[in-house]
């Protein structure tokens, strides 16, 4: 009820969470909803006052939604669900960080590179890191990245991600991180 009693922005967070949950529950029973890859990501903060020493590391899983669009020329578009759990540290403080959210991947059948972008509601175990406060435990992480499938089962990825609370709190410094990932593709 906390999110529903917050400001108008808080209601938007609650609606986003409910819609995301219903989409996931509605597709879990679908025959083609499948685990696509698992891996680990790590990165460091760039820019932003007071965020120079922030680091993040996490384990993740990507699941394909049953809908996929393919063209005759070989281009494909795959929606998926990203789930991650990890560690965020900065200014001598450590926190658990977790995300769940949708993503879109654009690729070509004859090219090992793909473009991926997504947005995930994010929960922090702590939101105050010394003199840096992110205002709330509820954050949002958006990202854009590239994936290179260098073997049938191994993928190297890079993404630039931004985390902020989307104005739910008057403290909203945001955090930009360069992340590198290694994953096993099923």
CATH number of domain containing 80: 2.40.160.20
Indicate whether 125 belongs to any domain.
Answer: yes
In a domain, 27, yes or no: no
Q: How many domains does the chain contain in total? A: 1
- Of 5-9, 10-14, 68-72, 170-174, the poorest mean pLDDT is in 5-9
pLDDT, tens digit (0-9, with 9 covering 90-100), for 86-103: 999 999 999 999 999 999
Which range marks the domain in which residue 172 is found? 32-185
Is residue 139 in some structural domain? yes
Model pTM?
Answer: 0.82
Read off φ and ψ for residue 31, nearest 5 degrees. Answer: -65, -30
CA–CA distance from 84 to each of 1, 17, 20, 99 (Å)?
A: 25, 16, 15, 5
pLDDT confidence bin for 51, thresholds 50/70/90:
confident
Strand partners, 175: 163
Confidence check: pLDDT of 126 > 50: yes
Identify the bridge partners of residue 38 per DSSP, sorted by sequence position: 61, 184
13: its two tokens: 């967070």
33 or 21, which is more confident? 33
Averaged pLDDT score across all residues of the chain: 88
Please, are residues 80 and 105 in contact by the beta-carbon 8 Å criterion? yes
| Residue 28 reports pLDDT greater than 50 | no
Measured distance CA(156)–CA(148) in Å, rounded: 5
Q: Is the pLDDT of residue 21 over 90?
A: no
pLDDT of residue 91: 92
| Per-residue pLDDT, 35 | 97
CA-closest candidate to residue 84, choices 124, 45, 29: 124
Nearest to 125 by CA among 161, 149, 166, 93: 93
- Closest to 85 in 3D by CA, of 104, 103, 98: 98
Strand partners, 152: none
- 141-164 pLDDT, tens digit each: 999 999 999 999 999 999 999 999
Report the alpha-carbon angle 163-81-29, nearest 5: 150
């Amino acid at each position: 009820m906390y999110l529903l009693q917050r400001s108008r922005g808080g209601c938007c967070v609650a609606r986003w969470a409910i819609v995301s949950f219903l989409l996931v529950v509605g597709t879990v029973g679908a025959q083609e909803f499948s685990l696509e890859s698992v891996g680990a990501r790590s990165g460091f903060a760039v820019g932003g006052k007071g965020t120079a020493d922030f680091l993040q590391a996490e384990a993740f899983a990507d699941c394909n939604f049953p809908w996929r669009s393919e063209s005759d020329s070989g281009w494909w578009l795959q929606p998926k669900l990203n789930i991650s759990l990890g560690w965020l540290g900065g200014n001598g403080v450590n926190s658990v960080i977790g995300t769940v959210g949708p993503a879109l991947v654009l690729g070509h059948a004859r090219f090992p590179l793909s473009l991926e972008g997504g947005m995930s509601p994010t929960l922090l175990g702590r939101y105050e890191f010394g003199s840096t406060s992110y205002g709330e435990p509820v954050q949002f992480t958006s990202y854009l990245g590239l994936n290179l499938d260098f073997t049938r089962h191994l993928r190297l990825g890079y993404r630039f991600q931004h985390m902020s609370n989307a104005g739910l709190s008057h403290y909203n410094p945001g955090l930009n991180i360069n992340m590198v990932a290694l994953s096993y593709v099923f």
